[in-house]
Structure 1
Amino acid sequence: MIKINDLLIPTLDDVDFSSKKILVRIDINSPVDPKTGNLLDDSRLKAYNSTIRELVEKGNSVVLISHQGRPGDNDFISLEEHAKILSKYLDTDVEFIEDVMGPYAREKIQNLEKGRVMLLDNVRFVSEELIEASPSQHAKSYLVRRLSPLFDGYVNDAFAASHRSQASLVGFPVVLKSSAGRLMEKEVSALAKIFNPDDYPKVFILGGGKVLDSVRIIENLVKKRLADRILTGGLIAELFAVAKGLDIGKDNIRVLEKLGILSLVPRARKILLMGGPIEIPVDFRVEKEGKVIEEPLNKLTGVIKDIGTTTTGIYSSFIKDAKVIVMRGPMGIIEDERFREGSKTLLVDALESSGYLIIGGGHMISMLGNVTVDSNKVHISTGGGALLLFLAGEKLPALEVLSTSGVK
């Protein structure tokens, strides 16, 4: 069992899934080339090797179910290509079924032999999957009622979709013996460290352009006293500088105004009054008249593009002493090579520290490049929206129902 907050979530170690027929919910939703309809990135598909291989090696027959895109969007496509890519990574044939819950799909599931793997088509082809409802309501859905009698158990390995209360995510645990998969277990075990009082100091490094998301996260961290230090960069740092009454220069104020961020100043001030351990940069790397220079916070004349050298050194000292480090969002405009240094330095320092590092968000992950990380001390989250809501203190329906379902 994994314990996180007040939840106890069963894993594959807590259930007897051997020589059974198992339905596995994965999340292989991937970016799609709008011109060709082909997948642009298949990293999410590779992530499920561990769970699927383990179930196959135990003599189970495995049926995979997932979504891809939303109706009306360019990436709302069949999962046929996904099946081919999964076959390559698993080194076994993953049979693609051009159906989800109709007679053809049910017949193929019934006849699936032990040790074989099958992928059903895009579950969002079924309109019920687009509805947000309670687990008990979804347990009565056609999707669950038609498929659940064909299976001996259900495994949810789709942490990235666990903030959704949809049929394939919350309906099956109500009626089937259920557990988290290995990827879900890894995600939840890593995030549980955030709530473990024995793992401190905890340092959160928050940057990037999604300011409202970061404000929500900081509010929760401060309210629950989860963070020992919150190190800010990017637009969130500028917001809190303004909230403290500091002058960041007319050009930077105009940027915040244009993006609608100034409306969050009262909210940021309230967080500061709560006593949040929020650090803002003391200097910045800015662009002024086409040149890159560093300026202290109290003498800003250029447009902020990265944190400065002094700030990087201060932040690095906090990282060095941390037991748990959470990084979400870059410190600067990393798309421009001139403004990657702050983010890159902090990432390297975090990787070299003795603390446990959780990396969330595609921008920070992209900076890893081909760097090999130690999975025992570094967790790269696949969470996306689920990770955001988790850090913001909101409940994740798919985890909640796994906990209440037990192992039946």
Structure 2
Amino acid sequence: MVIPTLDDVNFTNSKVLVRIDINSPVDSKSGKLLDDSRIRAHVETVKELVEKGNGVVLVSHQGRPGDSDFIDLEEHSRLLQKHLDMEVEFVGDVMGPYAREKIKNMKLGSVILLDNVRFVSEELIEASPLQHAKSYLVRRLSPLFQGYVNDAFAASHRSQASLVGFPLVLKSSAGRVMEREVSALAKVFNPEDSPKIFIMGGGKVLDSLRIIENLVKRRLADRILTGGLIAELFAVAKGLDLGKENLQVLEKAGVLGLISRARKLLLSGAPVEIPVDFKVEKGGQVHEEPANKVTGIIKDVGSTTVNIYSSFVRDAKVIVMRGPMGVIEDERFRESSRALLKNALENQGYVIIGGGHMISLLGGEGQIDKSKVHVSTGGGALLLFLAGEKLPALEALDMSAKEAMKA
């Protein structure tokens, strides 16, 4: 793929449409935003474009129709204004006469945030870039701009108009958030960056299994260290007796049907590591038990497993961490995830952290070395990228770059 960046496409003294992803968690009672980390992430891209004399019009989504977090972007605009330290005009329209008039009359060097793009029904349709290039959203807005920047990696797995339609009709590039995500994740596929260690935990078993299957198929992982429910699945697939209560947990999670897929991976020689001990809760007390003699309910991996996993992490050049080892909502079961994260950050290798639970253990991004640690904004896009699936927004930027080369 050819993904042009702001270094390749020089936008100056122009009007530029920038697709960002400031979709944020919302308090269901107050309707207020609970976190502004995604908003802060886009400040670099917007500032750079403004400093080059461009008029910047931002477009994003928030929630889905029918959900409690499907709200307008007025509060987002205030937070953007705070973090940019400059005025951000909120326009309560997306592509109607009011929005178009505001864009036509805006001054270079200023910033506008359009309203929730999912207020436009076309944005809810998944279609090809060619189809979306003909959408009303693209046809009405594109004549007002000289360029388009996609900085919304977290939404790049969607083939929607604001993400894939504009690159076919406007000079386009990736923004700095998109560029960092693609650059970091490219290390996963670079054979020179080895050994690669993947730490897979959490409760999203099917997602994790899909990633592991792709890693094994493409021989991308030197070792895959498991925790959480995915570790329990592989333990059962290996023939370990985890006890009736833990099988009931797996049954309730709807993952017992995946045992055959996990067993097939193990029989193929996949480099999947399973915990040798677990931290369990029994009668309100916490114990550590060997994996072949579990009597309590599994809540975390044990200390021996942490030591073994840490020895693998220390030698890695690339470490991808997705999901915690245990039930970190309970303070008693956070230590293993914290220890592995600490070992990864102290290692000389490059660390990619994905998933809200692992990010929550960081204790603030200001404490990390961004030259060797990448905290992904991804979510679903990160999952699909690691699972080997194509991301439509990246493909659209690639199509735009190749068309520009022909011109």
Q: CA RMSD in A?
A: 0.8
Give, in whole Å, the separation in 1 of the partners of 2:192 and 2:142: 41
Match of 2:372 among 368, 372, 377: 377
Matched residue, 2:123: 129
Give, in whole Å, the separation in 2 of the partners of 1:31 and 1:296: 39
Give, in whole Å, the separation in 2 of the partners of 1:198 and 1:108: 50
Q: How far 1:290 sits from its partner (Å)?
A: 1.1
Is residue 333 from structure 1 mapped to residue 330 from structure 2 by the alignment? Answer: no
Give, in whole Å, the separation in 1 of the partners of 2:277 and 2:24: 38
Match of 1:399 among 386, 390, 394: 394
Matched residue, 1:173: 167
Matched residue, 1:4: none
**Letter in structure 2 aligned against 1:253:** L
Q: How far 1:116 sits from its partner (Å)?
A: 0.3
Matched residue, 1:91: 85
Is residue 43 from structure 1 mapped to residue 47 from structure 2 by the alignment? Answer: no
Matched residue, 1:3: none
Runs of 4+ in 1 over 2 A off after TM superposition: none
Matched residue, 1:187: 181
Q: How many residues align?
A: 402
Q: Is the 8 A contact 1:222 1:274 kept in 2?
A: no
| 1:181-229 deviation digits (Å, cap 9, x = unpaired) | 0000000000000000000000000000000000000000000000000
Q: Percent identity among equivalent residues?
A: 76
**Letter in structure 1 aligned against 2:287:** I
Equivalences for residues 293-304 of structure 1 within 5 A:
293-304=287-298
Name the SS for the 2:101 alignment partner. helix
Name the SS for the 1:237 alignment partner. helix
Give, in whole Å, the separation in 1 of the partners of 2:75 and 2:241: 53
Give, in whole Å, the separation in 1 of the partners of 2:129 and 2:281: 52
Give, in whole Å, the separation in 2 of the partners of 1:131 and 1:370: 36
Give, in whole Å, the separation in 2 of the partners of 1:330 and 1:205: 8
Segment drifting more, 171-180 vs 238-247? 238-247
**Letter in structure 2 aligned against 1:217:** I
Give, in whole Å, the separation in 2 of the partners of 1:275 and 1:171: 43
Q: Is the 8 A contact 1:59 1:115 kept in 2?
A: yes
Matched residue, 1:239: 233
Q: How far 1:353 sits from its partner (Å)?
A: 0.4
Matched residue, 1:156: 150
**Letter in structure 2 aligned against 1:266:** S
**Letter in structure 2 aligned against 1:259:** A
| 1:234-289 deviation digits (Å, cap 9, x = unpaired) | 11001001111111122211211222111100111112222210000001111111
Segment drifting more, 244-253 vs 67-76? 244-253
Q: How far 1:45 sits from its partner (Å)?
A: 0.4
| 1:40-93 deviation digits (Å, cap 9, x = unpaired) | 111110101110000000000000000011111111111111111100000000
Matched residue, 2:210: 216
Equivalences for residues 45-60 of structure 1 within 5 A:
45-60=39-54
Name the SS for the 1:193 alignment partner. helix
User: 5+ residue gaps in structure 2?
Assistant: none
Segment drifting more, 258-267 vs 139-148? 258-267
Is residue 262 from structure 1 mapped to residue 285 from structure 2 by the alignment? Answer: no
Is residue 343 from structure 1 mapped to residue 345 from structure 2 by the alignment? Answer: no
Matched residue, 2:194: 200
| 1:365-393 deviation digits (Å, cap 9, x = unpaired) | 00111360000000000000000111111
Give, in whole Å, the separation in 1 of the partners of 2:170 and 2:364: 40
Name the SS for the 1:9 alignment partner. coil
| 1:148-197 deviation digits (Å, cap 9, x = unpaired) | 00000000000000000000000000000000000000000000000000
Q: Is the 8 A contact 1:285 1:292 kept in 2?
A: yes
Name the SS for the 1:83 alignment partner. helix
Matched residue, 1:115: 109
Matched residue, 2:309: 315
Is residue 69 from structure 1 mapped to residue 63 from structure 2 by the alignment? Answer: yes
**Letter in structure 2 aligned against 1:321:** D
Give, in whole Å, the separation in 2 of the partners of 1:381 and 1:37: 26
Give the alignment's TM-score, normalised by structure 2.
0.98
User: 5+ residue gaps in structure 1?
Assistant: 1-6
Match of 2:284 among 290, 293, 296: 290
Is residue 78 from structure 1 mapped to residue 72 from structure 2 by the alignment? Answer: yes
Name the SS for the 2:165 alignment partner. helix
**Letter in structure 2 aligned against 1:300:** V
Name the SS for the 1:345 alignment partner. helix
| 1:75-119 deviation digits (Å, cap 9, x = unpaired) | 111111111110000000000011101111111101111110000
Equivalences for residues 245-256 of structure 1 within 5 A:
245-256=239-250
